[in-house]
Amino acid sequence: MRRFVFLFAVLIMATRAKAQTSSFVTTLGKDTLSFEQYRRAGDTITGDWVTGYGGIMYHHYVIVLRPDGRMQRYTLSLHRVSGKAEGGVNLVLGDDSLIATTSGPPDSTRRLAVGVDAAVFASTIAALETITTFARRHGGDSSVVRAVQAFGPYQSANVPVVFFKGDSARLGNPRAPLLLRVNREGQIQSLSARMSTTRTETVRVPNYDLASLVRHFHDVAEDTPILGVLAISPRDTARGTVANAKIMIDYGRPSVRGRNVFVHGVLGDTIWRAGANAATQFTSTTDLSVGGKRLPAGTYSLWVHVRPDNSAYDLVFNSQSGQWGTEHHFDRDVLTVPLEVRRAPSSVEQLSFELEQAGPGAILRLRWANLELSESLTVWPAHH
């Protein structure tokens, strides 16, 4: 009998120690952006996050956990399909210290007096799941976990975790949180970034052959830099002249990707960056008349204010420039004018700005999906 109990216990322990594989797919609209697959055996998680925009990149990671569920070590290496290394980092996390070793060139090691519980990289599920499972075990329905970004600047940040409705959680910045579906242990079943700037959706799927799926991605030559997330909404400029004024608009170009983008504002935003990623920049070398109002020469960030019911659109010039596209301060708005709205004859997949000559002035046009928004520009008259 004792021998049977012993063998049964050994069998149970072996079953628990067996590596468990988790697989996820991330999409943006109708397009598949990345795959993540990892295996957990005991206190070690080993996985790959493979992105396929602007070139295929493997992000291979190994996470070693402490007995209480916090991270002890986080190792991340980047390589191409061929195996060519593109850098990496190794983090050793302590209660009151962090040792970060990056592989280059050049290689470097930094020792910081920073105590953290976890390291995160983009929205990779394995790293975020260490936060949610730790919070579930130790924090009840609401807690804060200390974390750093894997590639610096290694400043400890408090990550709020709030569980609700039994199977849901909010993670991160309360103003733009990641929305999670989790199980009883806090393991992530899905992640929605629809309230953040990325708008992606990640879901758990049956396990797949990662190498086979990666072959369907479009790769780039090995000596070509991989653009990564920037390739989703590439940067572009629109240039033109209005009399003696030189005008430039610098903006990111998001694509529709099968989404209904003009709903509840623009993708849910009632103040929209009129582009993607960093805020859209508008520069004029001469004072302009925009909708009959004076806009002094200079550089501005450009925004579109949208009614929640999409009944009207306003063009907004803001005195701040050079910031990320989520940073808008209403107190720095300098000029707001209504935009003319017209249904486009055909859907435009990728956002575009155009400056079209019209008599002594020009028409500024924004085209995306099924809408065209426009406003007239002229040089500010001397007698004003």
Per-residue pLDDT at 18: 63
3-state secondary structure of 156: coil
CA distance 336 to 339: 9
| pTM to 2 decimal places | 0.84
The reported pLDDT for the residue numbered 211 is: 92
pLDDT for 383 equals 45
Helices (H), 165-309: 210-214
Question: For residue 123, what are its two tokens?
Answer: 């929205």
Task: State the 10-residue block means of pLDDT for the chain, 384 residues long.
Answer: 37 52 95 96 97 93 96 96 94 93 85 92 96 91 93 89 94 92 95 89 96 89 84 92 93 94 92 94 97 96 96 97 92 97 93 93 95 95 55
Distances (CA, A) of 219 to 33, 53, 57, 163, 235: 13, 8, 9, 39, 20
The token duo for 312 is 């009207």
Q: Is 321 helix (H, G, I), strand (E, B) or coil?
A: coil
How far is Cα of residue 376 from the mean position of the Cα atoms in its chain? 34
Question: Any idea which residue has 């925004």 for tokens?
Answer: 303
Contacts of 158 (CB under 8 A, 6+ apart): 144, 145, 146
Q: What are 269's two structure tokens?
A: 């935003």
Q: In the prediction, which pLDDT does 10 show?
A: 36
